[in-house]
Structures are given as structure tokens and as C-alpha cells.
């Protein structure tokens, strides 16, 4: 009994091989956690799941001005969640496609589109597998989703973007900066019903182990969730970037960096900003 517990604790605390597992679907589509995620998205006062409402409105304002968004602009919002950006862009006349694998968030997004009398196509799929005959003037990936992917997945997603852009179209995405990487620490902790029951409706012990991969500038927050009858593991990978590493990745996929900013609301780039955002085009 004691040895079994020892082995389990060893597994919990063992440093995994970098990008060894991709569990995003478990986090975003599990019926219990996706409900919690939607509540975070819709809480206009917190920067969890989506940014605060004030930021989203500023961001849409900036996007509209920067890309001349108006009637007929074709936009794809990858990882659109409950459509907080998609809806606002559609309200300005854009033809918006939102892509996400969270049914719960998409149901909310569809209800909103109906309420506002807007036609938005919401596609339920893993965005790495997205395929459409539509071509877009603007492709968005907002709230650092790019960072959750392995280098191979990022190249795959950039290829999906390339395939679906109109000639001259642009991609806008944001990422965590190296400044933020420096502030992360390796920690291990556990709590009963960790994060106020976020992970399960059943009683559980939640362990979080944060591992830093210094050379690769990657952090893993690994959650191990132990209920009476099962153990689940959720791996949240985060790749941190600087201007060069982000531009180089885009270049590798055939993009040219047009502008680097501090966020997707148009703030000027700063070395000490926690995030950076990029505008890129093919060629
Ligand atoms: C951090 S949230 C950001 C939502 C939205 N962009 C915003 O800022 O309000 C990430 C979203 O991407 C979705 N997502 C993550 N990985 C995905 C994948 N591989 N395929 C489709 N959707 C994904 C999640 O379901 C979630 O809605």
C-alpha cells in the first residue's frame, strides 16, 4: 500500500518529456471543466479563458481600424470560444467563421449570433484539422493559444492558416513573452478540490507540478486529479517567445512578419511586456 502510494507520487512529480502529450481537449471539452471555462470567459472582470471585456472591446476596435474591417471582410477566429470577438466583428458587418472544439462555448456563441440576428458560421472541430473552401482576409488566434502547441503543431496550424488565407490576407496572434518565462517558478503543490472544484464535481485531490524547460523556453503546468475511482492528468504546455523566435517560426511557415506589438489591441511593443502580438502575411 505504502509503496503504491510512493510510486504514484513519483509519477506525479516526475518531469515529463517535453511536449510528450497534448491534453487540450480534456481541458476544454470535458463536460465539467468546459462549463467552468465558459463561466470564466463570460466573467468580464477577469483575464481567465478570455481577457476582460474592456480589453476585448479595445482589441476589436483596433482590429477594425488596422484591417479596415467592414461589410464582407472574411474573418476566421481560431479558438473562438464563446465568440466574444467573433460576435463583435460580425456586428460590424464581417463574415465570420469561428472554430473551436468546445461544444459548450459554441452553443453559447450560436445563441448570441441568433440573438443579434447575425450569421456566423461556428465550426466544431480541432483547429489543427480545420479545412474549408472559404478563404479569409484575416485569421485570428487570440489569447496565446499558439503557446499551448508543440513546435510541430504550431507549424501545422500555420500551414492551415496559409491554406485558408486570401492572397494578401493577414494573421494576427499573440504569445507569452520571455519576460513572463523569467517570472515562472518550478513548484509542486496539492489541495483537496483544488481550484474550488474546477476539475470535477466529485471530491478529488488535485496536484499541480510546474516544470521549466530552460533551453526550450517552455513551461508545463501538469495537473493530476485523483478522485475515488480515477486519476486524470492534464498537461498545459506554454512556449514563451521573443520577437526573433516568433518571427522565425512564422518565416519557417512561409510568412513575413509585418508588425510586432505588445498585445492584440495595438499597444506598442515593449521588451518588458508580458506578451507580444504579431501581424503576419504570406510571402
Ligand atoms: C484561451 S481560450 C481563448 C478564447 C478566445 N480566443 C478569446 O480570447 O476569448 C482558447 C480557446 O481555444 C479552444 N481550443 C484550444 N485548443 C483547440 C484546438 N486544438 N482546436 C479547437 N479549439 C481549441 C478552446 O476550446 C478555447 O475556447
Condensed to tens digits (0 to 9), the pLDDT of residues 81-125 reads: 999 999 999 999 999 999 999 999 999 999 999 999 999 999 999
- Which atom of ligand 1 is least distant from the CA of 77? 6
Distance 28 CA to ligand 1 centre (A): 8
CA angle 36, 39, 40 (to 5 degrees): 90
Q: What is the mean pLDDT of residues 254-260?
A: 98
All domains in the chain, ordered by first residue: 31-177+241-282 (3.40.50.150)
Crossing angle for the helix pair 84-91 and 53-66, nearest 10 degrees? 50
**Is the minimum distance from the CB of 98 to ligand 1 under 6 angstroms?**
no
Task: Please tell me the pTM assigned to this model.
Answer: 0.97
CA-proximal residue: ligand 1, atom 1 (nearest): 49
Q: Percent of the chain scored above 90 by pLDDT? A: 97
Quick check: 51 and 85 in contact, CB under 8 A? no
Q: What is the dihedral of CA 84, 81, 124, 109, to 10 degrees?
A: -40
pLDDT confidence bin for 13, thresholds 50/70/90: very high
Write the burial class of residue 133 (CB in 10 Å: 0-12 exposed, 13-18 middle, 19+ buried): exposed
**Is the minimum distance from the CB of 33 to ligand 1 under 6 angstroms?**
no
Q: Over the stretch 167-204, which tens digit does the pLDDT of each residue have?
A: 999 999 999 999 999 999 999 999 999 999 999 999 99
Q: Is 262 helix (H, G, I), strand (E, B) or coil?
A: coil
Amino acid at each position: 500500500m505504502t509503496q503504491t502510494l510512493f510510486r504514484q507520487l513519483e509519477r506525479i512529480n516526475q518531469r515529463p518529456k517535453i511536449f510528450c502529450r497534448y491534453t487540450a481537449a480534456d481541458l476544454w471539452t470535458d463536460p465539467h471543466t468546459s462549463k467552468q471555462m465558459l463561466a470564466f470567459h463570460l466573467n468580464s472582470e477577469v483575464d481567465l479563458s478570455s481577457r476582460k471585456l474592456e480589453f476585448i472591446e479595445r482589441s476589436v476596435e483596433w482590429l477594425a481600424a488596422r484591417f479596415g474591417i467592414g461589410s464582407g471582410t472574411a474573418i476566421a477566429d481560431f479558438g473562438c470560444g464563446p465568440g466574444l470577438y467573433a460576435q463583435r466583428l460580425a456586428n460590424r458587418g464581417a463574415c465570420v467563421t469561428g472554430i473551436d472544439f468546445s461544444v459548450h462555448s459554441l452553443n453559447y456563441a450560436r445563441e448570441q449570433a441568433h440573438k443579434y440576428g447575425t450569421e456566423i458560421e461556428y465550426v466544431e472541430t480541432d483547429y489543427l484539422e480545420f479545412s474549408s473552401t472559404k478563404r479569409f482576409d484575416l485569421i485570428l488566434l487570440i489569447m496565446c493559444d499558439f503557446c499551448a502547441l508543440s513546435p510541430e503543431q504550431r507549424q501545422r496550424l500555420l500551414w492551415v492558416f496559409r491554406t485558408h488565407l486570401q492572397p494578401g490576407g493577414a494573421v494576427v496572434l499573440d504569445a507569452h513573452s520571455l519576460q513572463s518565462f523569467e517570472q515562472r517558478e518550478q513548484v509542486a503543490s496539492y489541495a483537496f478540490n483544488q481550484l474550488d472544484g474546477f476539475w470535477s464535481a466529485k471530491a478529488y485531490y488535485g496536484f499541480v507540478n510546474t516544470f521549466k524547460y530552460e533551453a526550450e523556453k517552455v513551461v508545463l503546468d501538469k495537473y493530476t486529479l485523483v478522485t475515488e475511482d480515477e486519476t486524470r492528468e492534464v498537461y498545459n504546455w506554454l512556449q514563451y517567445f521573443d520577437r526573433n523566435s516568433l518571427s522565425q517560426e512564422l518565416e519557417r511557415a512561409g510568412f513575413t512578419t509585418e508588425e510586432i506589438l505588445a498585445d492584440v489591441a495595438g499597444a506598442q511593443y515593449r521588451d518588458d511586456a508580458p506578451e507580444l502580438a504579431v501581424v503576419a502575411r504570406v510571402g
